[in-house]
Amino acid sequence: MAKKYRVAVVGATGMVGQTMVEILTEREFPMEELKLLASARSRGLRVTAGDREYLVEEALPHSFEGIDFAFFSAGGAVSKELAREAARRGAVVIDNSSAFRMEEDVPLVIPEVNPEAVREHRGIIANPNCSTIQTVVALQPLQQAAGLKRVVAATYQAISGAGKKAVDELMEQCRAHLAGEKGTVQHIAHQLAFSLIPHIDIFLDDGYTNEEEKMVRETRKIMALPGLPVTATTVRAPVVNGHSIVLNVELQAPLTADEARALFAKAPGVTVLDNPAEKLYPMPLQVSGHDEVYIGRIREDHSVAHGLNLWVVADNIRKGAALNSVQIAELLL
C-alpha cells in the first residue's frame, strides 16, 4: 500500500488556504489526515473539500505534532511565529509568505524551473511571490535556449492577491460608482474600480515598492542568476482574479518569435495562446480557475538586439500560490 501523509493547512479559511484544500483533494494527494488550522476567530468553522467536511482548529505549536506536511498561507507574521515550530516537530513546511524566501538555507522553488532545489531544505521550503512564479516559468525556456541578458516586467495584478476583503471592497466600489456614489476605500490604497493603482505593498527608500523588489530578488535566486539585470513596475488592476504581466526580455543570443513560440509550446506548465489574426491571446477572465501559465503576444522587440515581448497571464491564487505549493510537496513524494 502506498504511504499516506498527515497534512496541515494553516490559513485554511482564506482564499489561498481554501484553494489549497481544493487542490490537495483534486490531485488526490496521499493524505491519511487533513488538519485545517487558522486563527482563534475562525476556530469551529467548517470547510467542505470533496465529499468531506472539516472542522477548523486554532493554529498553535502543538497542532503540528505528527504532521508530515504543513502548508502555510496565513501571512508572514503567522509563518514567523509557527513555521519553525512545525519544522521542529518533524513537518516539512511549505510557506506561501515572504517570511523565509530570501534566507540562504531556505529553497525558493518553482517545480517547472528548479525542482532539484527541494533537496536542500532543512524543514522549510518557500513558495515564491505570485507574480514571480508566472514570470520565471516564462523566462526559463528562454534562458535555456538563448540566455537572459535583461528583463523588464510590468504587472497588472488582480485584487484577489490582496485577499477576500479587498475583493469585496472592489465589488462595492463598482456598485457605488455605477450608482453615482462614493465607494469605500479601506483595504486598497485608492478607489480601484474603473482605475489602476501603481502601488502594491510598501514603498522603499529608492521609490520602488516591496512587491517590485520581491520580483527582482526572487527571480535571481530561483534562476541562480544573481547578477541578472531585472526591473519591475507592479500595478493593481480592477480584475478579480488572474495576474497579467508584460515581459520585455533581452537575450544573449538571437531567438525569433516563432522559435520562442515553439519553445513555449513544449515547456512544462505553459500554454501558448497567440494568434492575433483570430484575436487569440490570454486574458485573466479566461485563465481564472486554470493551472497553466498562459503566454501570448509573442513578438520581436525591434528596438534592441535579440529582444522579445511577451504577455503572460496566470491564475494568481492557483499557480501563483496554492498549486505551486502542492506541486512542491509532490516533488518530495
Active site residues: 130, 243
Q: What angle do CA 137, 111, 241 make, to 5 degrees?
A: 55
Q: Residue 96 in contact with residue 19, Cβ under 8 Å?
A: no
Q: Residue 162 in contact with residue 192, Cβ under 8 Å?
A: no
Distance, CA of 163 to CA of 295 (rounded, Å): 25
280: left (phi over 0), alpha (psi -120 to 50) or beta: beta
Residue 190, all three cell numbers: 485608492
Instruction: Kindly state the DSSP code that residue 117 receives in the 8-state scheme.
Output: G
Measured CA distances, 207 to 189, 197, 203, 213 (Å)? 16, 15, 6, 10
Strands 270-272 and 307-314: unpaired
Distance, CA of 255 to CA of 69 (rounded, Å): 42
**Positive or negative CA dihedral for 291, 110, 129, 270?**
negative
